[in-house]
Structure 1
Amino acid sequence: MDVIGGKIVDLQQKQIYNGELHLENGIIIKIVKSEINYDHYILPGFIDAHIHIESSMLVPYEFARIAMRHGTVATVSDPHEIANVCGMEGIEYMLTNAKNSGLQFFFGAPSCVPATQFETSGAIIDHRDIEKLMVRNDIWYLSEMMNYPGVLYNDEEVLKKIEIARNYKKPVDGHAPGLKGDDAVEYIKKGCRTDHECVSLDEALWKLKHGMKILIREGSAAKNYHALESLISTHPNEVMFCSDDKHPDDLLLGHINDLVKISVLKHDLFDVLQIACVNPVLHYNLPVGLLQEGDSADFIMVKDLKNFEVKANYVKGINYINDSGTIHKTKTHSLINQFNIGFIEENEIPEIAPDPSTIIIKAIDGSLITEKTKADDCSSEEILKICVVNRYRKEKIHVGFITGFGPLKGAMASSVAHDSHNIVAIGRNTKDLTKAINSIIETKGGLCVVHGLETECLPLPVAGLMHILPAEQVGKAYEKLQKLAIYNGSTLTSPFMTLSFMALLVIPKIKMSDKGLFDAEKFTFM
């Protein structure tokens, strides 16, 4: 039996006291008060209530090594990205790679593969596949139902997926940016009970009133913490923290602990920890310990309740932290991918120029949402070509125009292109665009910047989304590419992050598909 002492932060009783945890076979069998005045605190670990692990560009095992340093003990993870590339085999890859990592990954069944019918993905997951996933005890919920038009208009396939999840008594995650009124009531009534897409407090309060749980999201891409922060005090039992997308350079700096640190400056400690540690366990019915007798021995040890610097991270009674970082055994990672096209020629990219009335995508720094503008309202030196090249089979290449990246020289390309992860590329001229696209094809996935005669790449050999290298190396390479894009003239804070969402058709207003320019509000091509 192991005995671990500290100032115990009891979230159930809302009290802090010196005590000892008695552990046996990964279970807290007894908690007793102590006369020792400890200088550290023991509390339940942090949970990311919605994340796509693939966004970190790290395989799950490597993601776990870094996240656990920051006090994370579990994630509610949607393998939607790799599923769009590799289908059921991709989901199995994530489940297998995550094993023995220490971190508790609670994966969902992706509900929207493909995300829409207006793009080409590498796989289809239908209701029969959802049934196969839901029967498993390592699949915990139906992942975000992005196809809210399908829910509202009673699409048979969509409703079957929701019904299957409910039959297995597993939660259904929502995804309904801006949806309110009768449509939102219907969406909630059909079973979609969470939303991480709220951008305003009014929207979040309306959805809370009608029975939804709201996720406060602060990731590398989308951020709504400052808009929704007041919910921490007003609705502490009905909200959760999540990151959604966490890029490798950001993950190295922090995770859910960052939200906890800024929240305790203005809000009650117990409310903050209820959100960070407890609510995901209750909503998703997760077998994660909450520092009570009989619970799994999942907890963290921190130096104080201000900075939450992690001294230990216990999962099932095993500590995964020491003075040099996270304790992880070396693991050999397999590869999985789907890249079925050869190099393209310059003449395959249409040589067109915008006229004054040409519709232009306007990218917004730090946002997934774009605006619609026209060429005569834009600086000519900031109008770039954009194309999305089908990675799964040879198809005609469509070209659009985009502004908002600044007066970018050269070109950028990425196979991280939500949601189908084709190759999205932007550039000043066809020659550089072709070079950037072919660089991604050569490495069978990754990110690249073309600058002059040089091309810099970060290969992502796992589905064109992730690397098997240590996070420190991936994060450094990613940061280098970001800086290079900025050096080339991009005025965006995170150029590759923004680029990756320019093909995300389920987020307004206009985006680029491998099939052409798309109106994400009217759900039709332009």
Structure 2
Amino acid sequence: MKLSSGRMAGQIVDLHQRRIFAGVVEWRRGRITRVRADDRVQAKHLIMPGFVDAHIHIESSLLPPAEFARLAVAHGTVATVSDPHEIANVLGARGVTHMIADGRRTPLKFNFGAPSCVPATTFETAGAALDANAVARLLAREDVRYLAEVMNFPGVLGGDPALRTMMEVARKLGKPIDGHAPGLRGAQARAYAAAGPSTDHECFTLEEAQDKLAAGMKILIREGSAARNFAALAPLLHTHPERVMFCCDDLHPDLLVGGHLDRHIRRALAAGADRFDVLRCASVNPVEHYGLAVGLLRAGDPADFVVVDGWKKFRVLRTYLDGRLIAANGRARFPRLAAKTPNQFRAQPRRAAEFAVSATNGPAKLNVIEALNGQLITRHLTEAPALRQGKLVADPKRDLLKIAVVNRYAPRAPIARGFIRGFGLKAGAIASSVAHDSHNIVVIGADDEALAAAVNLVIKHRGGLSAVGRGRSLVLPLPIAGLMSDLPGPVVARRYTELDRFAKRLGSRLDAPFMTLSFMALLVIPDLKLSDRGLFSATRWGFLPVQT
């Protein structure tokens, strides 16, 4: 890539000296040579460091890195800290290498980590596994920047030897260790932090975040498509701005086309947070914590910066990386690249009868998952069953739906089945091969025929999102590992929006039904989830029967 030289005049936002002044940024061969004041500058636009998403799974955008970059740079994103554990659960280390290679084809500075928990637990079936030796080999690579979120927090607290080895390797290499510890408080939070993880993006309350800050951790304020914790954690922008970063974690394409971290910044400014502190959280803090090769508008830095129209609308006008204009007026300035489509998908079509659940003898209650809008956590409910001809069935009138997980890596593995509340479907079913973290097929529906139809649409396309009901069916194929599309980003966003609207016409009350669906098999986030092996309680750390 040819390095660029040039100059830009405007109102320069100096985050290190906490000042704004009229001046000029000059760069040569991709690096800033001088930032100087100039009172003659009349331009009103702001020049500031570009934005860094401190924790995001690129796969959750349903786009490969090269296409994700084309959407993100238009919103001022110059770098990401990315955990590729989604594709690693499908393809192993080969998947991590694929993401790194695809990201290199674009100007955006992707910084990938070594996944620490593949699979996330031993209670589910993934397409691959990364043991301590495999993770150590990844960490030894120069293009792997950190040890990605250590999700098995019970294992950390219990001294799991493999996790201990991974964290020790990261420490010896001087690479940060990312945390993931939902709900940990007090002594447990202190013990977890002492073991090595230095960040957490899984705080759902201010009190939880304060406990983790007291334990020495840094907090990532997350606002994505499923988990939205900005409102709860925004007070940290006033009290601990030096130890806070912004992240999306998981962001579907319908939101990405309209904004990325610029959305976080606008919201923080509207809430009255100090503008220098807000921009520090969006740029300086992640660059310094992870040691990223990203410029911060200083002489000698890479010429990575953005031009914004002003503080009120905070609209990104242009994005520069290494001195090159890579986005202007909402559009990327580099070409779209064809995507490769590695995959692993062995599931075969299933029959409606395979989703049936026989009732046990005698009176029984159901252990039921309750999905919560805007959250990854669930509640554990106990409900009376609905019976029909000796079978346990869904009861949409009570918002009692059936949930199932189909193993995509084994053609005829038994189907795990359970019951769920919170989705609100009155008819039909929705299914997804994006099912954290092992990415089997998860489906929710009002009857067994709809469940089978939705699952078989996903199987037909070797991965995808589907919705069926009321005489209609829709599918968004995801041929890249069953996680990502090979279509242009705006097309994926439009088709995802159509699926989202269809799910809501079927009755879903959730803001993001497909994103929430994708987390109903994630066992490491409390309380009750469903893996391909059965109903699992994260608080009890074990399986539960559907009927009790």
CA distance in 2, matches of 1:380, 1:6: 58
Tell me if structure 1 keeps the 8 A contact 2:320–2:326: yes
Alignment partner of 1:373 is 2:381 = yes
Q: 2:281 aligns with which of 267, 275, 282?
A: 275
1:277-316 to structure 2, matched below 5 A, reads 277-316=283-322
* Structure 1 unmatched runs, 5+: none
- Measured against aligned partners, the alpha-carbon deviations of 1:153-172 in whole angstroms (never above 9, x if no partner) come to 11111111111111100000
Shift of 1:326: 1.1
Q: 1:23 aligns with which of 19, 22, 27?
A: 27
SS at structure 2 position matched to 1:320 = strand
Residues matched between the structures, number? 526
Alignment partner of 1:363 is 2:382 = no
Rate the CA distance shift 1:468–1:407 in 2: closer, same or farther, 3 A: closer
Match of 2:391 in 1: none
- Measured against aligned partners, the alpha-carbon deviations of 1:346-402 in whole angstroms (never above 9, x if no partner) come to 333334369651111111122111111122399762211111000001311121111
1:123-522 to structure 2, matched below 5 A, reads 123-265=128-270, 266-323=272-329, 325-352=331-358, 357-376=365-384, 381=397, 382-393=399-410, 394-522=412-540
CA distance in 1, matches of 2:510, 2:76: 31
Q: Percent identity over the alignment?
A: 48
1:22-61 to structure 2, matched below 5 A, reads 22-34=26-38, 35-61=40-66
Amino acid at match of 1:485: A
CA distance in 1, matches of 2:519, 2:359: 23
- Measured against aligned partners, the alpha-carbon deviations of 1:444-474 in whole angstroms (never above 9, x if no partner) come to 0001111134321010111111112111110
More moved, 249-258 vs 339-348: 339-348
CA distance in 2, matches of 1:239, 1:302: 22
Amino acid at match of 1:88: A
Moved over 6 A (4+): none
Amino acid at match of 2:9: G
CA distance in 1, matches of 2:187, 2:178: 19
Q: 1:12 aligns with which of 6, 16, 30?
A: 16
Tell me if structure 2 keeps the 8 A contact 1:356–1:375: no
TM-score by structure 2 length?
0.94
CA distance in 2, matches of 1:113, 1:333: 24
Amino acid at match of 1:304: G
Tell me if structure 2 keeps the 8 A contact 1:511–1:517: yes
Shift of 1:181: 2.2
Shift of 1:405: 1.3
Alignment partner of 1:100 is 2:105 = yes
Tell me if structure 1 keeps the 8 A contact 2:379–2:527: yes
Tell me if structure 1 keeps the 8 A contact 2:237–2:244: yes
CA distance in 2, matches of 1:493, 1:322: 30
Tell me if structure 2 keeps the 8 A contact 1:361–1:401: yes
CA distance in 2, matches of 1:71, 1:395: 45
CA distance in 2, matches of 1:129, 1:53: 21
- Measured against aligned partners, the alpha-carbon deviations of 1:418-453 in whole angstroms (never above 9, x if no partner) come to 111100011122211111111111100001111134
SS at structure 1 position matched to 2:306 = strand
CA distance in 2, matches of 1:229, 1:256: 15
TM-score by structure 1 length?
0.97
CA distance in 1, matches of 2:456, 2:330: 40
- Measured against aligned partners, the alpha-carbon deviations of 1:277-313 in whole angstroms (never above 9, x if no partner) come to 1000111011111001111100001111222211211
SS at structure 2 position matched to 1:20 = strand
